[in-house]
Structure 1
Amino acid sequence: MSSTTSSTTGIFFDRLIVGVDRLVTGGLLLKIVAVFAVAAALYYPVGMAITHRINDDLAYQPAPTEASQTVAMVAGLIDREVARTPWVADSPWFFAASALDDMANFQQGVISGLHGVVGAFGGALAGNDGDLTAAAGGLAYPGDRWRAFFETTPTTEPPSEEVYLEARKALLSYDRRASAGEAAFDPSAPALAAFLVQIRAEVGATLLGIDRQIASAGAFNRANDDVYMTAKGQAYAWAMSLAALGRDGAATLEAGAVAVAWSRMVETLNRVATLRPWVVTNGAADALVVPNHLASQGFLLARAQADIDAVIAALGG
């Protein structure tokens, strides 16, 4: 029995050696290796090209809600960036999308900006409503949580997308109750002014981050575009939300001076939101060849702050 087994094993290994020899000498192995090498080389660039999307469309219109156009805009942007566009911030390294840092930072900037909007809306226009408090808490959740055992940041916590979509549900719940008269919704002049005071603080915090990057990093520092794209996403969220809030408060903004100031504020944020340099550099302020995109962005955000101040003053705040 042992002799038969030994003979069978020997035949198997002989055939294996012959098969490998044919692969090598016939060139088939080289062809297989070449195919895998080409596939590996194309995986990231092709996957990135298919996934990449920085959606700074100012004409975007969300599905309408019952009470507030601002809530509709925030809920729509969450749905668009999280459910209808790949959320790439939590993609592990073996996904091609993990290399799309500009897209990831833009998306996280949008969510960060919406977090500020929801917090300000709840505090100023909705009497600290519980649904809005829950939504703001959800939007503060880190953007890099994926799934248990495979996360960018290892954790057993729920994935980022799931938490953000739950925040969206809380927003829509508030809107339904506001429409039924069961929740506060006050787009009066004092409320709008209080809302803008909080947004101004959000803009100021972003400006500080830009200033720190300008002061501490070189012209081609890898974090330059991270800071820039995050601020771009925040500005987009603020611009779209403030445009919607202007429609919510149309009766309050009927006075010419207030309406003009509000439009100027939104337009300035639109400019920040739609800037698209090919490469973000942090050059000298008077550079000819290597500009300072962060400084340009910071200038426009500072101008937006001044516009916000003008609206607050026009509202009597």
Structure 2
Amino acid sequence: MLNPIVAFFERIFRAIGHGLGLAAAGLLWPFLAAHGWYRRRAWTIQLPIAAFVALLVVLYAYFIWQTQSWRDFDPNYVDRFKLGERQAVAGQELPPAANAAGAAAPKTCQTSAVVDVTSDLIDFNVNRNAWISSMLLYKVGFFGMDWDRTPFLDNKAAFQRGVNQAIRRTSVELVDALGRVRGTSGINADLQNARGNLQFDESSWYFGLNPFGPKTPTPAYYRAAIRSLAKFNTDLSLCNATFDSRADNLIEFVDRIANDLGSTSDILAERSEKHNFGWFDTRADDRFWFAYGQLYGYYGILSAAGADFSRVIAERNLGTLWADTMRQFQAALRIRPFIISNGREDGWIMPSHLATMGFYILRVRSNLVETRVVLGGR
């Protein structure tokens, strides 16, 4: 009585096995055909081809290693800067110290924590890690397909671009407001150079097609920005530069960051609502990790701003709200799923990590908007 049922399932499994066999044969056929062609060639042809294949293997091994190795990644990296130990706001003259002979030491001023953290984030992106977006194999893609449209090997690149978004926004504010007096003094040349270098294309390699010819790769420009920022802080420590830590500058800085995070929240919401294919949305991971990188960067930069503008924060009784905002950043940075899923918000099998990240971004943004209001913003 069960024989027809057993036979039915046997036919189904045979059909599935046959289909998988045909699929495997289709995938392997080009390689088998290439191997047969290669064996019939003379050694003068075989040797260059073997060398090229060996080079590809080495390049891909290095590329995969760099995309999977996240050196010095630490959501608590702000602790290294010991911001709570700073006794003065950025640009403020420090109490004079006497040397062994009793003579007063040269005048010194407090350096900017925002500049320190921004420089460290750039160093993290291009020195302690390889800048993925401008690597040759990342630009080539997966058989010509953009890596961002695949479910693998693109997370680190998206994360780095998110961090870089926070860095770029900060560099603009340093030039336009923070590094000059009330916007009327001259623009600091070092900050201007840093901003220009950080606005450079994120995906330039040593050679390009548009325009055609050799190029300076992206990391070289970003490393130059590190040197310019260090030069600014050195001048600031000697009281030869300006950091204007007034309330209206903090208002404007917080407002720009809130708007930037609002744009990212809209991107996450659009993707979550219109492409909720669960684990099969191949763009969900780069959207998630871009937002994560942006929060990672702004967490450090705003923590540093809390030190640079500590006087304003104390005068406006913002300490509790500011500390709560930093806790919201920390909560968001604890979300690190192994596989990014963009499912329905009411789904019970495939979660919606984009909606979750969007929720945390909105919580941070809400605190920043409240901070702006308390500071006297619109």
User: Is 1:273 the equivalent of 2:326?
Assistant: no
Deviation at 1:237, TM superposition (A): 0.4
Deviation at 1:154, TM superposition (A): 7.0
Q: Structure 2: which 5+ residue stretches go unaligned?
A: 1-38, 41-49, 84-89, 91-109, 181-186
- What residue identity is the alignment partner of 2:125? E
Separation in structure 2 between the aligned mates of residue 231 and residue 135 of structure 1, nearest angstrom: 24
Separation in structure 2 between the aligned mates of residue 301 and residue 134 of structure 1, nearest angstrom: 31
Deviation at 1:200, TM superposition (A): 1.0
Q: Kindly indicate whether the alpha-carbon contact (under 8 Å) linking 1:44 and 1:96 is maintained by their aligned counterparts in 2.
A: no
Equivalent residue for 1:183?
A: 241
User: Is 1:70 the equivalent of 2:127?
Assistant: no
Q: Structure 1: which 5+ residue stretches go unaligned?
A: 1-19, 22-32
Once superposed, which parts of structure 1, at least 4 consecutive aligned residues long, lie more than 4 Å away?
42-47, 62-66, 94-99, 151-155
Deviations, residues 292-316 of structure 1 (Å, cap 9, x unaligned): 1111111111111110012122223
Q: What is the 5 A alignment of 1:25-36?
A: none
- Evaluate the alpha carbon distance shift between residue 92 and residue 311 of structure 1 in structure 2; reply closer, same or farther with a 3 A threshold: same
- Evaluate the alpha carbon distance shift between residue 81 and residue 169 of structure 1 in structure 2; reply closer, same or farther with a 3 A threshold: same
Deviation at 1:45, TM superposition (A): 6.8
Q: Count how many residue pairs are aligned between Structure 1 and Structure 2.
A: 283
Q: What is the 5 A alignment of 1:107-118?
A: 107-118=160-171
- Evaluate the alpha carbon distance shift between residue 252 and residue 63 of structure 1 in structure 2; reply closer, same or farther with a 3 A threshold: closer
**Percent identical residues:** 24
Separation in structure 2 between the aligned mates of residue 253 and residue 62 of structure 1, nearest angstrom: 19
Separation in structure 2 between the aligned mates of residue 236 and residue 152 of structure 1, nearest angstrom: 33
Deviation at 1:187, TM superposition (A): 1.6
Q: What is the 5 A alignment of 1:151-300?
A: 156-219=214-277, 220-255=280-315, 257-300=317-360
- What residue identity is the alignment partner of 2:320? V
Q: Kindly indicate whether the alpha-carbon contact (under 8 Å) linking 2:75 and 2:333 is maintained by their aligned counterparts in 1.
A: no
Separation in structure 2 between the aligned mates of residue 43 and residue 171 of structure 1, nearest angstrom: 33
- Evaluate the alpha carbon distance shift between residue 194 and residue 111 of structure 1 in structure 2; reply closer, same or farther with a 3 A threshold: same
Deviations, residues 64-85 of structure 1 (Å, cap 9, x unaligned): 9961011011101111220121
With the length of structure 1 as denominator, give the TM-score of the two structures: 0.78
Q: Kindly indicate whether the alpha-carbon contact (under 8 Å) linking 1:145 and 1:155 is maintained by their aligned counterparts in 2.
A: no
Separation in structure 2 between the aligned mates of residue 77 and residue 290 of structure 1, nearest angstrom: 33
Equivalent residue for 2:374?
A: 314
- Describe the SS at the equivalent of 2:214: coil
Q: Kindly indicate whether the alpha-carbon contact (under 8 Å) linking 1:91 and 1:152 is maintained by their aligned counterparts in 2.
A: no
Q: Kindly indicate whether the alpha-carbon contact (under 8 Å) linking 2:66 and 2:129 is maintained by their aligned counterparts in 1.
A: no
Q: Kindly indicate whether the alpha-carbon contact (under 8 Å) linking 1:235 and 1:270 is maintained by their aligned counterparts in 2.
A: no
Equivalent residue for 2:133?
A: 89
Q: Kindly indicate whether the alpha-carbon contact (under 8 Å) linking 1:228 and 1:294 is maintained by their aligned counterparts in 2.
A: yes
With the length of structure 2 as denominator, give the TM-score of the two structures: 0.66
